Amino acid sequence: PGEEGGAYLMIKEGVLESPKPDAIFGLHVGINQPGALAFRSGGAMASADRFKIVVKGKGTHGGMPWLGVDPIVVSSQIVLGLQTIVSRQTELTATPAVVSVGMIKGGNRNNIIPSEVEMEGTIRAFDPKIRKDIHERIKKTATAIAESAGATAEVNVQLGVPVTFNDPKLTTQMTPTLERVVGQKKIMTANQVTGAEDFAFYQEKIPGLFFFLGITPPGTKPIPNHSPYFLVDESALIVGVRAMANLAVDFLGSR
């Protein structure tokens, strides 16, 4: 139903019902030595939410800005203010987060101050509570800055993919299985990834473990998955099949 969003649709249509699974395992290829397995307990991949802010001021001639309320200046201040949410208001020693503005548009003439500016951006977090807190801080920051200049800010946060959270108990339980499949020397602790993964929707419902299989051909430069130059050492794929099969057998055998 969709590589980047199919999980939500499958859950909506009852894939986790009758019978309800006790656990779920997910595998994704990644840039690492072929056949290596990488994973981490807890937040592994970030949530990804989208926000849109519409700043409304009062248009006027660029030569007489005092006759209007400049939404471009206000928007610029909001962009800077949003950056302090992570750098000054989020406990970065606990977990990382990202707030980025990726689009801003307003005005169509060099000498006319427009009445409205739109901006959109993305929010990434590894903790559900911090994720929610950032949403609220974006709304407060944009609204307060706009009001201080006599403008208004309409803020809309669109929920996207939640945090890919590897259940600690399940991760501990199944680590020996993965070690048996590839050997301890090829087991690695994965870094947290600010990309998002819709496998997280399953993990909101049942315990899950999501891990990465290294597929970078020896002697080549690691290239990210979404690059047109992405290259796979296909001999590593059998390791992925073996890992998934052993996880299923060992987990069922423990019930």
In 3D space, the residue among 23, 63, 55 whose CA is nearest the CA of residue 169 turns out to be 23
Euclidean distance between CA atoms 114 and 74, whole angstroms: 12
Q: Are residues 71 and 83 in the same domain?
A: yes
User: Residue type at 241?
Assistant: V
In a domain? residue 75: yes
Q: Are residues 38 and 101 in the same domain?
A: no
Structure confidence at residue 18 (pLDDT): 87
- The DSSP bridge partners found for residue 29 are 213
CATH code, domain carrying 111: 3.30.70.360
Cβ pair 22, 255 in contact under 8 A: yes
In a domain? residue 1: no
CB < 8 Å & 24+ apart, contacts of 11-18? 11/201, 11/202, 11/205, 16/202, 16/205, 16/206
Q: Are residues 155 and 67 in the same domain?
A: yes
Domain enclosing residue 22, as ranges: 6-45+163-253
Interval 99-117: pLDDT, tens:
999 999 999 999 999 999 9
In 3D space, the residue among 55, 29, 48 whose CA is nearest the CA of residue 100 turns out to be 48
In a domain? residue 173: yes
Q: Is the pLDDT of residue 198 over 60?
A: yes
Q: Are residues 84 and 112 in the same domain?
A: yes
CA geometry: angle 175, 180, 181, nearest 5 deg = 100
Domains in the chain, number: 2
Report percent pLDDT > 70 for the chain: 98
Q: Are residues 150 and 179 in the same domain?
A: no
Q: Is the pLDDT of residue 228 over 70?
A: yes
Contacts of 74 (CB under 8 A, 6+ apart): 55, 57, 117, 145, 146, 149, 151, 153
In a domain? residue 216: yes
In a domain? residue 193: yes
Q: Is the pLDDT of residue 217 over 80?
A: yes
Tokens of 121: 């951006």
Interval 137-156 mean pLDDT: 99
Euclidean distance between CA atoms 19 and 2, whole angstroms: 23
Q: Are residues 57 and 124 in the same domain?
A: yes
In a domain? residue 175: yes
In a domain? residue 220: yes
Q: Is the pLDDT of residue 1 over 60?
A: no
Cβ pair 86, 141 in contact under 8 A: no
- Enter the pTM of the model: 0.90
Structure confidence at residue 211 (pLDDT): 98
Euclidean distance between CA atoms 66 and 61, whole angstroms: 9
Q: Are residues 24 and 64 in the same domain?
A: no
In a domain? residue 200: yes
- Concatenating the DSSP letter of every residue in 162-177 gives --EEE-HHHHHHHHHH
Which one of 161, 196, 213 terminates a domain?
A: 161
Q: Are residues 135 and 98 in the same domain?
A: yes
Interval 39-83: pLDDT, tens:
999 999 999 999 999 999 999 999 999 999 999 999 999 999 999
Helix/strand/coil percentages in the chain, nearest 5: 35, 30, 35
Cβ pair 77, 68 in contact under 8 A: no
Structure confidence at residue 225 (pLDDT): 86
CATH code, domain carrying 35: 3.40.630.10
Q: Are residues 214 and 186 in the same domain?
A: yes
Q: Are residues 155 and 51 in the same domain?
A: yes
Structure confidence at residue 205 (pLDDT): 97
Q: Are residues 131 and 68 in the same domain?
A: yes
Which one of 161, 193, 212 terminates a domain?
A: 161
Q: Are residues 21 and 127 in the same domain?
A: no
Report percent pLDDT > 90 for the chain: 93
Q: Is the pLDDT of residue 2 over 80?
A: no
- The DSSP bridge partners found for residue 154 are 54
Which one of 135, 161, 187 terminates a domain?
A: 161
Average pLDDT over the chain reads 96
